A and B are shown apart, each in its own frame.
Chain A
Amino acid sequence: MSVVTSLGDVLPAEALSGAEGGALARVARGAEAVVRPRSPEEVVDAVRWASANGVGVLPVGTGGRTTPARGDGPFMVLAMDRLSGLEIYEPADVTLTAKAGTPLADIEATLAEHRQWLPFDPPQVSSRTLGGLVATGESGPVATAYGELRNHVLGATVVCGDGRVLRLGGRVVKNVAGFDLLRPLVGSRGRLGVVTSVCLRAFPVPAKDRVLLLRSDDFAGLEAAARAVRTAPTLPASVVLWVRPTSQGAALLVRLHGAELTVDADQATLERRAGVSFARADSELVAEVRDDATDAPVVVTLSVLPSRLFEALGAARDLLGHSSVVADAYSGTARIALAEVDTDTVRALRDTIEEMGGALAVEAPDEGPEVRAAGSRPSDAETGVSTRLQEVFDPSGVFWPCRA
């Protein structure tokens, strides 16, 4: 069966092309075709075609943050990069609607002209697409001060597994007209549908973005300072713990946003509480840390209550050895980069973390499925509701390549 030929029947030929580029090639491995629709209508056509022909659909932004297809069977990659561009941007509303394939770098540039920005800083944020950001649902550590991405997605258009098009939410900052189907969509990683357009709330750029830095030989030496900052009366923009692989030590990076006077006062408060004096760092270091521990063969993500973070990282080091770690000390999440890992070690760490009330996930594209399956699972009750929610959005199960 040639999927590409059959697709040519429903999509104009120019919409089709082979996989190009590293990230896309990686997720397209084993795919029957890569489809790059130029309009929401073509997305609908492609999904309908896939649904009618028993072909799975793996929607991707740039492919950079997509997990390769999980399971067997023919599937196509739906690359959203051509569905790009701003739809509505009224700077004074401080909201913005754009097509899902729009690179965040473009959106950031447009917003910057009006001294606005999107307060999300997950790894490689600028090279993501808007739809990809929403699908992964990752906010990054500045959620400390600004709230999570899921709270700022005001609306989205989504193509369901049977080609239905749902227009959810709107473009106002408060909206409770009907059940909130947008929330589970954010972070659904393609499991529910293909997002074709998104409306987000933006924010004014703070007058100052100050980066404070505290170094230590070992991450344990930063625990007291991290706790002092995390429980301070002033809320920083983010509190990030960075652990280098071997003897390069560890660092705490604290970002303060606000007027110059405000950040001066906040810095003084934090230094007084923590009993330390911070060095200053620049935005380049912030970006380096933000993007560290992502591009590894194995990335373990763990979450615990913030008060247990250092204990969790200690347990991880005991089991996994020294490795790069980037942790959000305010929310209690961390990612750990590894060259390889065995299933038993992951299970042992998972059990320890779960005993602390936390959870663990593993991304290891080149390892077998049992490594990934060793991560924490939602409860049976949650899985039951989620499965039925998937059935509402995707009755015939076209989006199986996205599912665990």
Chain B
Amino acid sequence: MTPLTQINAEITTHPAGDLLTSEEVSLARRELRRKKLIALALVIPLLIFLFFTFVAPIGTMLYRSVYNPTVAELIPQTLSSLESWDGQGMPDKAVMSQMAADMKRLANLRKSGKLAESINRYLPGTSSVIKSTARKLRRKDDQKIISQGAEFLLAANDKWSQPEIWQALIKAGKVYTDGYFLTALDLERNDAGDIQQRTSTQIYIKLYAKTLRMALIITFMCLLLGYPLAYYLANAPSKTANMLMILVLLPFWTSLLVRTTAWIAMLQTNGVINSLLTSLHVISSPLEMLYTEFSTIIAMTHILLPFMILPLYSVMKGIDPSLMRAAMSMGAKPPSAFISVYFPNTLPGLSAGALLVFIISVGYYITPALVGGTDGQMISNIIAFHMQQSNNWGLAAALGSLLLVLILTLYWVYDRFVGASNIKLG
């Protein structure tokens, strides 16, 4: 009950003599409003911070994955004149001349490269066509381009006589596009405009699957290593437990980069493990461990282990030790008492830890980038690639949005079957 309804309830339930006068009611209301304002003022800085660091970036990312204004801004007139074209055969001469005029303008503004790059995503091989044509058009007279632009284009490159390049222009010219999402899902539109599996390379779905598989393996490894340790910690005398807890938390105090690089030193061809095994004559030639999926999984398990141990530990610490004793006094052997009584009570911590590790590892970037090589790359590395190297922010945004959707879906499934209220972080 909010304080206000409480006041109302008091008004209605009290005998007439206890009724508040209207003045008192308004005073009480004002007091309540003042409290609410103060509460709001206290959280406003956080809300602003959250907006700029969380809501706004994610919103921008989602928007970018469907918003593609580059081409539309570069050649607006060509695009509007292309609207009259039915998509069959070749467009009108006037349209082609308009394109020539736009390209000359872009060439002089030194923006033809940007156009070439954008169109190339839709029709590979077009980049050089556009760049060279633009170069040739730069010296042509404006008047002549208006009358003979189409001829100039055809003369510059015979690709201009094929409808595909014009279709590509239309596709690239759409301000709002589902193209990035289709690409991210290994789909494409065929000439008829229907969605189909991409005929060329298919990498993203496989990468998503691999990312999920690796995250699952990492979660499972963390569980396997973390559960017994958390159990030991929770039942050890507090002096030992505190000491060991510091060791568990130690990784948080050292730089992530340092820890990851340490794994490079451990795993490389002439690294610690290989030299040790060789000198013990276990192996004759060094194992290839670095830059593989294996190294990513090992290093990430190490880095994420505390996220599994901490919730497990706090939940186990809260389990009454007399539960196990009670089970045993009732005749259960220790293993069966553990399975039927102790384990079910650790599930909140276990699911919290597993969820935490899984979600963090699905989106992990630094470790796979450093020790993963090509084999151990995860989806976030491809996203980073599109952000930094191929400059295809739209695709990066689409991949990121899909990752977000994937995680939300998994969380939803988890909530359906396990119940999010079961999570206990501390």
Instruction: Please determine whether chains A and B interact with each other in the same assembly.
Output: no
